[in-house]
Structure 1
Amino acid sequence: MLLDAVTYNSSIKTSEAPSVSELKEREALRALQNGDTEKFVILYDLYMEKIYRYLFFRLHHKELAEDLTSQTFLQAYSKIHQYDSTKGAFGAWLYRVARNLMIDEIRRKKPTDNIDQHFDLKDDTNIETETDRTLNSEAVQKLMETLPLDARELLTLRLWDELSYAEIAAVTGKNEGALKMQFSRLVKKLQETAPAILLALLIINI
């Protein structure tokens, strides 16, 4: 079953040794702690595409997602001294920076409106990279647009970015158990309404 595939796919890495990217991240964070700010570029290379994807799938607007991605890394660079590894993973901290910037931007532009109304802005500009073309495929776009804002966020963070439930809880401020239940219900719903697209999402993630 697809649900079994999702469960397997999202938990398979829990017992593996640290990946190359994880080792690079640790090395960069150690260097930054010692004052070597040039190593921040390693973190940028590791997370830039993930942060952009997270913002794009929530906003459906290429230029705004690009701008907020840049702002995320500028703010992270200036506040890297505030990151405390004892309080959570760097990735969760970085996603939280991106999330807060996105919410602030929407509130600034439409302070009296419901924020959720402005996450479906369209952008007809052609997206250049292969990854972006995949993310911008008509089928995936239509699927994401049918989902509530919090479901889009959970699907992106859990499937594509492979964050643990603890990390997603740190990003969103939600209860870990509630997130697990929400994800299970979301996958079951997609199995019933869009099984082919759900399978495609899993393939993209492999």
Structure 2
Amino acid sequence: MLEDEPEGKKVTAAADLTRDQQTRERENWTRTLAALAESRDKRLFAELFSHFGPRIKAYIIRLGMPVASAEELTQEAMLSVWRKAHMFNASKASASTWIYTLARNLCIDRMRREKAVEYELPEDEADPDNRHQGEHAVLEKRMKAAIATLPEAQAQVLFLSYYEGKSHSEIAEQLGIPLGSVKSRLRLAFDKLKQHWEAH
């Protein structure tokens, strides 16, 4: 790009490049899921699980589910991907849209079964892969500010669970603490975060 090119064009070009990268990545995962549907290749499923697992967990938490339930539902959602891959139609939806829809439906089913307090689930939850980066940045900033108010032990397990997508048992092993301690710290952390978000 020429150095004397207007700044606006550079920004537009960068945005176009980012969109192109996102499109290519979305198409790549769609091809991977379509290939899994045909081959039942466990290696392909492992790739999908590694990519979508942490994202699905964060998505489910955003829908209002507790962390423990989010972990269970993430496992169920990814298991559904394996079982129902043959039903995936790449001409109707991208892999991410299809997988997030599976996860959302599982959330709704769980809420109905448990007859829990009604959660506010948006009718058409946007595909997290397609959300505007500015929205992510604002949420990320608010979340980090909220986590900064937590005691270090609670913030640590929350970070490992929410940002790194680790299971309770993996966190317990990494920190060298009992599994029960991980769960209680996460429960306390989310209670405090809820109070923090309601107050701001």
Structure 1 length-normalised TM: 0.50
Instruction: Report the CA distance between 1:81 and its aligned residue.
Output: 0.2
Alignment root-mean-square deviation, CA = 3.9
For structure 2, the 5+ residue unaligned runs are: 1-13, 145-200
Instruction: Report the CA distance between 1:14 and its aligned residue.
Output: 2.1
Report the secondary structure of 1:86's partner residue: coil
Q: Which residue of 2 aligns with 1:64?
A: 69
The answer to whether structure 1 residue 18 and structure 2 residue 24 are counterparts is yes
The answer to whether structure 1 residue 150 and structure 2 residue 138 are counterparts is no
Seen in structure 2, the aligned counterparts of structure 1 residues 42 and 22 have a Cα distance that, compared at 3 Å, is: farther
User: 2:100, 2:56 → 1: CA distance?
Assistant: 7
Seen in structure 2, the aligned counterparts of structure 1 residues 61 and 114 have a Cα distance that, compared at 3 Å, is: closer
Q: 2:49·2:78 contact (CA, 8 Å) conserved in 1?
A: yes
Seen in structure 2, the aligned counterparts of structure 1 residues 11 and 92 have a Cα distance that, compared at 3 Å, is: farther
Instruction: Report the CA distance between 1:60 and its aligned residue.
Output: 4.4
Q: Which residue of 1 aligns with 2:81?
A: 76
Q: How does 1:115-194 map to 2 (within 5 A)?
A: 115-116=118-119, 149-150=121-122, 153-154=125-126, 157=127, 161-163=128-130
Instruction: Report the CA distance between 1:88 and its aligned residue.
Output: 1.0
Q: Which residue of 1 aligns with 2:153?
A: none
Letter in 1 for 2:85: I
Seen in structure 2, the aligned counterparts of structure 1 residues 11 and 50 have a Cα distance that, compared at 3 Å, is: farther
Instruction: Report the CA distance between 1:99 and its aligned residue.
Output: 0.5
The answer to whether structure 1 residue 88 and structure 2 residue 60 are counterparts is no
Seen in structure 2, the aligned counterparts of structure 1 residues 11 and 71 have a Cα distance that, compared at 3 Å, is: farther
Whose RCO is larger (CA < 8 A, sep 6+)?
A: 1
User: 1:162, 1:201 → 2: CA distance?
Assistant: 20
Instruction: Quote the sequence identity (%).
Output: 25
Letter in 2 for 1:115: E
Stretches of 4+ aligned residues off by more than 3 angstroms: 9-12, 196-199
Seen in structure 2, the aligned counterparts of structure 1 residues 43 and 198 have a Cα distance that, compared at 3 Å, is: closer
Letter in 1 for 2:24: P
Give the structure with higher Rg (CA).
2
User: 2:143, 2:129 → 1: CA distance?
Assistant: 11
Q: 1:48·1:69 contact (CA, 8 Å) conserved in 2?
A: yes
For structure 1, the 5+ residue unaligned runs are: 1-8, 117-147, 166-183, 188-195
User: 2:131, 2:69 → 1: CA distance?
Assistant: 27
Q: 2:34·2:90 contact (CA, 8 Å) conserved in 1?
A: no
Report the secondary structure of 1:85's partner residue: coil
